[in-house]
Structure 1
Amino acid sequence: MDPADREYFHLFFSVARWRGEPFIAEPDKCSELCWVQASALPPDLVDYVGDALAAITREEPLALRGW
């Protein structure tokens, strides 16, 4: 299989409660983990993550990108 032919399905969830400390479980795939305001996302944020966060902010129950 050609790596360019791979498709990915990303799911994002909102949670009402959280316990524990978030951590980077795959450090070879992530440069940092930080809390930011939705209005001030980092410039190097992956584009589909920014799209998902914007949809969550608009309270959209489903957002499709590239379908």
Structure 2
Amino acid sequence: MSSGTTELAWFKSSYSGSEGDSCVEVAIAEQAVHVRDSKDVSRPAFAVSREGWGRFVRFASER
């Protein structure tokens, strides 16, 4: 993971609520979607391809 993840525009889903419990944040970059724990942003983030993220979102929205 590159140290450049701090410059990314991180956001949470509007479904996450205002309490901040059990949420992830994502940041969309040109080559990847970065994911991190919103409760502890000091922990390492991970990245998936934009195509992989799209498949995950489609799968999750079907549930």
Please tell me the TM-score bracket, short chain as reference: under 0.3
Higher strand residue share: 2
Higher helix residue share: 2
Pick the structure with greater CA Rg.
1
TM-score (norm. length: structure 2)? 0.27
TM-score (norm. length: structure 1)? 0.26
